Structure 1
Amino acid sequence: MSDRYGVCEQGNFTRTFNFAVNRPSSLMISVSCPVSPSTVEIVDGCPDSAEKWREAAKRKNCASYANQCDEPDRFVYHCVINEYANKTLEVCAYRKIIVLGHCTEYNLDVNRIQQNFRTNCSNFRQNPCPNWYHSQEAYKYEGCYELTKQMKKELTTDHAQVTLSNSGSVSTYSTNVSVKMNSTGSTATDIPNRGFLVVVVLIIVILVAVMIAAGIIIRHRVKKKAADEGKSSEIRSSLHNEKIDIEIAAKEKVEATLLNSDGIH
């Protein structure tokens, strides 16, 4: 069994590929190491320079876990955002090339370093992400870490869509990030933020209250009208009866007068 090597030149860099002859299994590239989840640690912030990154890597000592991986040389220190861009994590994991101008994330569900498709760091004013970069160079794009500070303020429910726009003096990064999440970690449909929901709920409550009040008033007026009509009917009947009584009394008085007149003659 022998190995063959191929060289691919693209742009300003060259990559060498090792193709094993008669060893198909060697073509399989591991995407993760099973020990990575046990190394995850939530941290307040990540190194923002190569020197600080090396110091943190020395402290994390990922090499002590590397013997549990299929490709120990790729198993290195990372400090990146999580899949929701609301936490920063230190983790030992396989390094990877991040493409298309996204921040680097560690996704615990799939146990690997990858690009965070919910973010776009290519539009940062300072140190925008290039089309591709190595995941262990995530410290160069500090704006990705800044996103987590904004997200901690914005994400208040398990289901949310958050659009971040950071153009103030707090940082020198200009970002437009859309984050979708639900409690299972999958992409959810767009829903308003909590402030908008509160306004909608208040409007609905007010409308319902107005409708109930209007119903009560209408019912009261209908009852009052019916009562007034009944009372008017009673009055008309009473007046009619009194009129009849008066007519009868007048008739009887006339008849009595006539009788008296006949008796006088």
Structure 2
Amino acid sequence: MDVDGIKTGAMDVDCKDSASTSSDSRFGQPIYKSEARLCPEAIGSIEYVVSCPTSKQEWDTAASKKNCSRLASHQNCSSAEQFKYHCVINGFRNETLEVCAPSRIIFGHCVEFNLLGGVIQDQMSSPCNNIFPKCDAIFRSTDAYKYPDCFDLVERSTTVDTTERIVLTTTTTTDNKYFYII
């Protein structure tokens, strides 16, 4: 299969920080390994946002405002051409964030930015399917806007202001004053 000129087959993924798997003999589960490395410039570029763009035009506008090309030539995480704007969920699935980071090929999961690792990666607890979340089997991390179901995975905590308002009312009658707290 070919994703924007990048061959993606069992052994011919042309992506220096692609994930590989092996099997854990104790559990029979795949172990995911990545050659991706911490990117301090990406971590420093994080901005939390209420929502991510869900169209190409919105994405391009947000990318222009974020101006990742300004950081691209001063980072050592990837080539300047690969250091791109992203708007994705975080690894805890409780925030959406904008970040400048090396783009990646994503394999059948939603995209996340891992805060501890400082990398864009597959959100392993969010495999794509035909119902929810809908996303392609293989896509570029910079195409996250095409998969709004992934943004819907975010469970934001809501804080309710429980401060009570106290209103002091004075009513005067001929013989007494009454105070009411409402």
The interval holding the TM-score normalised by the smaller chain is 0.5 to 0.7
* Alpha carbons 2:3, 2:138 under 8 Å: kept: no
Structure 1 residue 33 displacement after superposition:
3.4
Higher RCO (C-alpha under 8 Å, 6+ residues apart): 2
Task: Map residues 1-265 of structure 1 onto 2, 5 A cutoff.
Answer: 10=1, 14-15=5-6, 31=37, 33-70=39-76, 71-99=79-107, 101-124=108-131, 128-148=134-154, 151-152=155-156
Q: Identity across aligned pairs (percent)?
A: 37
**After superposition, what is the alpha-carbon deviation per residue over 1:223-244, rounded to whole angstroms, capped at 9, x for unaligned?**
xxxxxxxxxxxxxxxxxxxxxx
* Alpha carbons 1:33, 1:68 under 8 Å: kept: no
Unaligned runs of 5+ in 2: 8-13, 16-34, 159-182
Pick the structure with more helix per residue: 1
Unaligned runs of 5+ in 1: 1-9, 19-28, 155-265
Pick the structure with more strand per residue: 2
What CA distance in whole angstroms lies between the structure 2 residues aligned with 1:153 and 1:35?
28
Structure 1 residue 97 displacement after superposition:
0.4
What CA distance in whole angstroms lies between the structure 2 residues aligned with 1:78 and 1:108?
14
What CA distance in whole angstroms lies between the structure 2 residues aligned with 1:68 and 1:122?
38
What CA distance in whole angstroms lies between the structure 2 residues aligned with 1:92 and 1:11?
25
**Aligned CA distance change for structure 1 residues 15 and 144 (closer, same or farther; 3 Å):** closer
CA RMSD, aligned part only?
2.5
- Report the AA paired with residue 71 of structure 2: Y
Structure 1 residue 118 displacement after superposition:
1.3
Aligned length: 131
Larger Rg, first or second structure (1 or 2): 1
Normalised to the residue count of structure 1, the TM-score between the two structures is 0.45
**Aligned CA distance change for structure 1 residues 145 and 13 (closer, same or farther; 3 Å):** closer
